[in-house]
Structure 1
Amino acid sequence: MMKKLQFRILAIFILIFSLLSLCIGIFSSSLLKEYALETQSSQLVENAKTIRSLIDQKNLDNLDFGKIKEQLKNVEKNDKERITLISIDGTVEYESDNSKKVIENHLERPEIKEVLKGKSEAISERSSTTSKTTLYYVAVPLKNASGQLVSVLRLSKPIAEMTQLNKQIKLSLLIFVIGVMILGIVLTLVTTKRIVKPIEEVMSVATDLSENRYHNRYNGKGYGEIAELGSVINHLANSLEDQMFEIAQNDERINSLINHLVIGVMLLDDERKVQLMNPAMEGILGEKLTDLLGKSYVEATKSYGLSQIIEQGYRQKKPQNNEIYFYYPEEHIVDANIVPITGKIKGELNMIVLLYDITEIRKLEKVKSDFVTNASHELRTPVTALKGFSETLLDGAMEDKTVLKQFLEIMYTESSRLDLLVNDILELSKLEQKQVPLKIERINIQEAILSSFRLVKKEAEHKKMTLILTDTEITYLNGDISRLKQILTNLISNAIAYTGIGGKIEVTVTQTLTEAIIEVKDNGMGIPEDELDRIFERFYRVDKARSRNSGGTGLGLSIVKYLVENFNGTIEVTSKLGLGTIFTVRLPFQD
């Protein structure tokens, strides 16, 4: 590009210089020719007058052309002009040009006619019929003493000789012009190179900027304006680099924010096609981003309800909000918000689709509702019993000592159960809200199991059951020992409650590089397979009658689940109906 500019400047210079040289050459040539002719003609006139003055006056008076010829021959030796002597009747009396053998009458020659008419000198220019060359003629009259015209003296000279100097000057001028042109071309090339090179560097920087490469800078040296242009382009490059860095940072932050949002985000263009989608939206729709980009939202969402409010947003050009149910790829309840935004082009309408998965929230709301219902039901039973027995006693039954003691024992049992139920509800509430402080210490898991055995020993002995701790390697864990004992006691008590008389409870501890594994195994009644997923729900009982008779509240396994989660662990259950149940607790080692 710059080489083309350089050659263009050079071509323009050559053209201008050539035109200027041509104009100057034509003008100077014409001027020099006129000047040369004028000078030569004046000189020729002076020469003619000089020769005339050399002719002896006596010869003119006597018309002695022979002697005049002799004088003219002597003059011819020292004069290069052609000399012609013509009588008044046009006869050529003398001709210095020896090549002319036959000379016609010159009476009709313009310069002769002018002199014969009385002019002191006459000048003419014409092509000679004899020599076939263009000559310049000067004629002067020759008069005798009495002033009578006796003949005409004419000098002539070829125009070529007269303009020879002009040709030499033209040649010199041409050589000068060529030399100046060569020098001008060299200087132009050097100058344009000095101009073009900085411009090339500026263009290189500008090209890099247009292609989002901001590292290049102008470092060249140029003329004032170009240097200023380089400084401006460097300032522009620095400014653009800073702006693009800031934009890139903002884009990265926005992308990071969008990609880490738990809310699904999808951008639709004016043609209702997907332009952007975050991972949360992928999870809700069950489709990969690469499969959805550029497709219609109808293909992407596969939900009539969502498609309906998106289309409504396009029609009304107003934000839309609704709760939508998804049935594919799995059941979801989402809070859908449709926000219209204007596009880059005037009149273009884009749409942001925000989907917040509220499935778990709705489940929690249902769990809370069920919890309130179940808690009310569980509390109503002992409260109703206490109220009924109290009314019976107040109505006179307390007078009967036997009935009074029996009723008081029942009331004590129910109040104890009510106290246990309230305590379990409060405990579960604290665990859910993580309000239970943990005292971290080094725990010997085997000792904690043996301590739990001692707590339930009375219940086990009552049912003639065997408690076994499998002999394994001593395992240590960092955590709250009271919470670990609560986990173990609940699981062992639960096993005792659902295992018949003479049963066996076996606890095994193993460890891996990352976690301790505790298994509580019984040979009791077992749990039906279809109920295994529900046993950690609050107030859920496999055998409701047995649970109540054993004093259970239905919250034990829910409390165990939350306690295990406080240890960052997991709990699993496997069971076969009639053969027994195994609870497996995995607790990671903590630093």
Structure 2
Amino acid sequence: MTEEGATKKSTMVYWLYQSYLIILGLGLLFVIVPASWILIKSYEGQVEEQLADKAELIKKIIAHNERRDEYASHFEAIFSDSPFRVTLVDADGTVIVETDTNSKKMENHANRPEIIKAWTGKDNYERRYSHTLGKNMLYYASAYLDQYVVRVSKPIRAIHSTLFGYLLKIAITALLAALLAAFVSIYVGKRLTIPLKKLGNQADYLAKAFLDVDIEPSSKFIQKKEPLSEFKTKEYHQLSETMNRMAAQLIATVNSHKEQSYFHKALLKSMVESVLAVDMDGNILICNRAAEEMYQLPKDRCLPGQNAANFIRNQVLLHSIHETMESGEPLVKEIKVYNPTERSLEVTIVPLKGFDGNQMGAVAVGQDLTGVKAVSKMRKDFVANVSHELKTPITAIKGFIETLLSSSETTAEDQKTFLEIALKHTDRMNAIISDLLSLTHLEDRKNDFELHKIQLNSIVEEVIESCQEMAAEKNITLENHLSAPCEVRANMLLLEQAFFNILSNAIKYSPEKTAVLVKVQEFPKYCQIDFIDEGEGIPKKYRKRIFERFFRVDKGRSKKVGGTGLGLAIAKHIVGVHHGKIMVSSKKGKGSVFTVQIPKLDTERTGFRMDVQESENPLGTFDPSAGSQETAAS
């Protein structure tokens, strides 16, 4: 046996010995203390009973002897060798008989506490200091008829002395028991360490087997590490062979599990879907990289053994996992996360069960549906927007056709005019559809539109005429301030559509009986068209988003006025086709000004640039140099 092994063995014996002593000490403590307390109380009760018995004996003596001068002799005969002190006090407090001192020298005892209580008719015990004897006494006093008080007492020191003798015997017995237990614990500890040492050696051999070290008894390893003859028996030889086979099987099993573990980790790491598995206590079992990114989990915390509730802030996810673990049923939940923008996840949560079929937790697999939902929404909104944009020309065509069908007084010239207008709106619808399809490709700068030399004044007049009916429904006056003809290179139908969207938008969000002004101005490098309304204005925080597709400042109000929120977005793209800029300036409660700037005919489109600063612009005082919120469509 090596020195190191001996040290470990001694340490084991020491701890076993110490444990036995602690257990024994606590056991004796829990037994001796209550037993001692019971002994003390029991002995004190016996003393009190003895005092009461002696008092009753004295009462019987008094009852059989009427002569008071004989009481002292009777008491001395009985209590001369007794540790008890007897005192007889008459009704006025005079001490008649006292066994431990001369009664004639004693003072009146009428004021003694036990005497006072005895006259009340109650037997009582009193512990107090005796000035007569100069020691602490335990008194018992009892009245005999209305003549005497019999008092029997015993020194408290004598009581304690007896108790101390009893307790000393108990302590000696406990000490002997502790010493005996100590020797037994040492013996048992030594006996236990022998099989433990052997078991430790075999475990060490098995650990070496995982390192491909042979543990045959004849090997150098065994001869060097454990040369004891007891390990070279036939039984140990068979045991070592069995352990070698077991070690080989364990190594093969461990290697197989490692390969599977690496494969599973690689699979989870490469998955786009998030995978989060927890046990019944909410501790993480599996957490892949996609889960860390989707739920914004710290990499150093999303580890097996960590409690998911400590760092997952999405309460809907935690509640859903808890609900699945309670019900044992699969659950599909749509969850909103912010990473950093809002994202929509479809999380499928199913119970996680072990080989025995018992539930051991739950696994949540999440799929990011943000892109899918966005595409779906764009498709729906696009269809709705196209319907919205086509509704106006269709309504106009329908109105002219109904007029032709219902009125018999229309002349041939009027009929021709109506049909020409209807044809024009039909062409406009066809052009809008074609242009919307082109705008889809416009964002990628793949397609160009045909641009021609046109005058903005004519386009503005056409747009105002098309919006007259809409404005009349709200008693809104459409005004225009047209400067000298400003020529630009543009696509007439597209530009007309952009102006129509802006103007119709101004009409929709303007109060009744107000005015909308369209102003065309010419500048050295560009032509500027201002659409000025008297609406409620656009809050500053929404101005940067006003040209986004489907964005609405007030969704509730937008539903009332109609539209899909795509009109200004289309206008923005159309202006972009012309290498122009579209801007908005607004003041709460005063109105808004939408400004479109298109490069002039003789201006290089690639060189057209403007610096416009943002400012609050009151209605009717729009000044491009004063500033606005611009969207550079170029």
TM over 0.5: same fold? no
Larger radius of gyration: 1
Q: TM-score, normalized by length of structure 2?
A: 0.37
Normalising by structure 1, we get a TM-score of 0.39
